[in-house]
């Protein structure tokens, strides 16, 4: 998915950041997809994702989305999204998804070297690869790299740079813990791909630099 392809950061701090999507296609497999999406959600949850949700749910797990209530809405949904910090968890999820074979497209975003290694280990052949070509244009108009590393975890741009800077200052002053700051910043992003684990680590790092 294009909105997860532009997460900004270093190879080191992106290494433990994987988004997974299950997406149905209109007029192909969306009709009656609820039971299959619930099965996929169960598999996602079995490996303890950092966050999950979707735009149709209106909020993410980090914002209080209840998994049981969410599952009940999937008859009218088109997909499920989540994010993991654990490479082995991603590998286990993909192995389970291959076994149930729902016929619904699964998209994995992360460092291309990490994702292809996981696929090779499971003997999975990716259908398509989408690569970000970086940022072009008037880059001097963008916020600092430390801010972009956090705001780009919401691919729809719902996490504001000024809000991020405010949280950074509060973490620096001790008014917020890094974990509290990460959870607060995750609130505007309903898709569930904002990685609060990564955000907390970034806040710890950047608080030292302010």
Give the residue extent of every domain in the chain: 2-121, 141-209
What pLDDT was estimated at residue 16?
93
What pLDDT was estimated at residue 10?
94
- The pTM (predicted TM-score) of the whole model is 0.94
Tens place of pLDDT per residue across the chain (210 aa): 567 888 999 999 999 999 999 988 887 877 888 999 999 999 999 999 999 998 888 899 999 999 999 999 999 888 999 999 999 999 999 999 999 999 999 999 999 999 999 999 999 999 898 888 888 999 999 999 999 999 999 988 999 999 999 999 999 999 999 999 999 999 999 999 999 999 999 999 988 887
Asked if 182 contacts 199 with a C-beta cutoff of 8 angstroms, the reply is yes
> Mind spelling out the 3-state secondary structure of the chain?
CHHHCCCCCCHHHHCCCEEEEEECCCCCCCCCCHHHHHHHHHHHHHCCCCEEECCCCCCEHHHCCCHHHHHHCHHHCCEEEEEECCHHHHHHHHHHHHHHCCCCEEEEECCHHHHHHHHHHCCCCCCCCCCCCCCCCCHHHCCCHHHHHHHCCCCCCCCCHHHHHHHHHHHHHCCCCHHHHHHHHHCCCCCCCCCHHHHHHHHHHHHHHC
What pLDDT was estimated at residue 201?
97
**Tokens representing residue 92 in the block:** 């286990």
What pLDDT was estimated at residue 163?
97
What pLDDT was estimated at residue 43?
98
Tell me the angle at which helices 178-186 and 196-209 cross, rounded to the nearest 10 degrees. 120
What pLDDT was estimated at residue 76?
85
Class of domain 2-121: alpha beta
What pLDDT was estimated at residue 1?
54
What pLDDT was estimated at residue 31?
82
What pLDDT was estimated at residue 42?
98
What pLDDT was estimated at residue 54?
86
Asked if 85 contacts 16 with a C-beta cutoff of 8 angstroms, the reply is yes
């Amino acid at each position: 998915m294009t909105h997860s392809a532009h997460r900004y950061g270093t190879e080191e701090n992106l290494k433990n950041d994987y988004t997974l999507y299950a997406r149905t296609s209109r007029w192909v497999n969306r009709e009656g997809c609820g039971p299959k999406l619930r099965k996929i959600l169960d598999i996602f949850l079995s490996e303890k994702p950092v966050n999950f949700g979707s735009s149709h749910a209106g909020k993410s797990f980090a914002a209080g989305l209840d998994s049981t209530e969410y599952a009940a809405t999937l008859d009218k949904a088109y997909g499920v999204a989540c994010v993991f910090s654990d490479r082995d968890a991603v590998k286990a999820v993909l192995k389970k998804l291959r076994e149930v074979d729902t016929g619904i497209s699964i998209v994995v975003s992360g460092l291309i070297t990490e994702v292809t290694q996981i696929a090779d280990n499971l003997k999975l052949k990716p259908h398509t690869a989408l690569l970000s070509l970086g940022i072009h244009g008037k880059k001097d108009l963008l916020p600092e790299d430390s801010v972009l590393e956090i705001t780009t975890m919401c691919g729809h741009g719902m996490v504001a740079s000024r809000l991020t800077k405010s949280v950074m200052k509060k973490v620096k002053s001790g008014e917020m813990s890094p974990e509290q700051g990460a959870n607060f910043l995750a609130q505007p992003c309903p898709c569930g791909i904002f990685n609060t684990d990564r955000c907390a680590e970034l806040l710890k790092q950047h608080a030292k630099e302010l």
